[in-house]
Amino acid sequence: MEKLTISPSPHVHSGDSVRRNMLGVCLALVPALVAALWFFGVDALVVILTSIAACVGFEYLIQKFILKVQPTITDGSAIVTGLILAFNLPSNLPLWIVVLGALFAIGVCKLTFGGLGQNIVNPAIGGRVFLLMSFPAQMTSWPKPSVVDAYTGATPLGLLKEGVKSGKSVSEIIDLPSTSDLLLGFCGGSLGEVMALCLIAGFIVMLIMKVITWHIPVAVIGSMFLFEGIFYLANPDRFADPVFTILTGGALLGAIFMATDYVTSPMTPLGMIIYGCGIGILTVLIRNFGAYPEGMSFAILLMNLVTPVINRYCKPKRFGEVVK
């Protein structure tokens, strides 16, 4: 009798893989990566390579020697974590701090919970928030990108916060960059957050490759725009205009690349929209009334924790529930 393979249906597969999705994210980050290198030069490259190497290295070492399981570094998720963590750091950050951030991201946020798919918070954001709280000085001294030479300065949101605190109205804060400067990246900030156009290009790449859906980024940016818009209309002297809001402080980086992390975001379209709006509203609240000038990381971190609850209550539209 012939030897036949037996398995239950389906007998075909789409060919999609974890690696393909992770490579999709990496590909989508390339425009922002190129911009980072253009603006911040070799410093940026060193931070990015250190972060990736540290994330992949820690994942390998911890899985191999502490957890004693087959290392999963080939799925590409550690590379994505390293890349996104680096995008959230200033390019002049001492490298040992970068390594420490990678250790926290991979070792604590990811592997403690069981590795890829099991973590509760986004590892890269966990790593960034850990560094922000542990090394506030180093984490908030930003080189202002300049193609010729970089000098240290505050971020647009930092300038805004300081200005408003000292009693100036928004229009009096003269150093604030214009919308076109923000789109093209002529402002201070983390590696990957400065050039808005590159991040939007990355969003389009991921949509075309079907790595993510539009729901979360649109909900985050839309809710930020609307919520900040209300504040702005009520008191334009005290609050920034909504266009400025969505182009600064890693709003796009967060909305497109970090809030959309599969593992820590909800599973249904409705859930994704609630989650996205939660991030948008929290970010605006933290920025306008909190101690920190920016709130994206904190907002995503908080909403990551709410995701299981959202999943519990936001069920997909079942077949047959629609009117007959």
Measured distance CA(115)–CA(107) in Å, rounded: 9
Stretches 70-78, 81-89, 94-102, 189-197: which one binds another protein (CB under 8 A)? 70-78
**Residue 139 engages another protein in binding (rule: CB under 8 A):** no
Minimum Å distance from CB 138 to another protein?
33
**Residues touching another protein, count (CB under 8 A):** 43
20/168 with CB nearer another protein:
20
The residue within the footprint of another protein, chosen from 2, 133, 166, 291 (CB under 8 A), is: 2
The residue within the footprint of another protein, chosen from 68, 165, 180, 318 (CB under 8 A), is: 318
Minimum Å distance from CB 196 to another protein?
26
Find the binding residues for another protein in span 95-134 (CB under 8 A): 114-118
19/238 with CB nearer another protein:
19
**Residue 313 engages another protein in binding (rule: CB under 8 A):** no
**Residue 167 engages another protein in binding (rule: CB under 8 A):** no
**Residue 315 engages another protein in binding (rule: CB under 8 A):** yes
Find the binding residues for another protein in span 193-232 (CB under 8 A): 213
The residue within the footprint of another protein, chosen from 35, 50, 58, 75 (CB under 8 A), is: 75
Number of other CB atoms surrounding residue 296 within 10 Å: 31
Query: Which residue bears the tokens 């709006």?
Result: 277
Minimum Å distance from CB 261 to another protein?
9
3/165 with CB nearer another protein:
3
Measured distance CA(89)–CA(91) in Å, rounded: 6
Measured distance CA(288)–CA(306) in Å, rounded: 22
**Residue 17 engages another protein in binding (rule: CB under 8 A):** yes
76/145 with CB nearer another protein:
76
109/139 with CB nearer another protein:
109
Cis before 10 (ω within 30): yes
**Residue 10 engages another protein in binding (rule: CB under 8 A):** yes
Find the binding residues for another protein in span 227-286 (CB under 8 A): 262-263, 265-269
**Tokens for 315?**
């069920």
**Residue 317 engages another protein in binding (rule: CB under 8 A):** yes
Measured distance CA(256)–CA(89) in Å, rounded: 17
**Residue 149 engages another protein in binding (rule: CB under 8 A):** no
Minimum Å distance from CB 104 to another protein?
21
Quick one: three-class SS letters along the chain?
CCCCCCCCCCCCCCCCCHHHHHHHHHHHHHHHHHHHHHHHCHHHHHHHHHHHHHHHHHHHHHHHHHCCCCCCHHHCHHHHHHHHHHHCCCCCCCHHHHHHHHHHHHHHHHHHHCCCCCCCCCHHHHHHHHHHHHCHHHHCCEEECCCCCCEEECCHHHHHHHHHHCCCCHHHCCCCCCHHHHHHCCCCCCCCCCCHHHHHHHHHHHHHCCCCCCHHHHHHHHHHHHHHHHHHHHCCCCCCCHHHHHHCCCHHHHHHHHCCCCCCCCCCHHHHHHHHHHHHHHHHHHHHHCCCCCCHHHHHHHHHHHHHHHHHHCCCCCCCCCCC
136/316 with CB nearer another protein:
316
Minimum Å distance from CB 23 to another protein?
11
Please give the residue ranges that form the binding site for another protein (CB under 8 A): 1-2, 4-14, 16-18, 20-21, 72, 75, 77, 114-118, 213, 262-263, 265-269, 315-322, 324
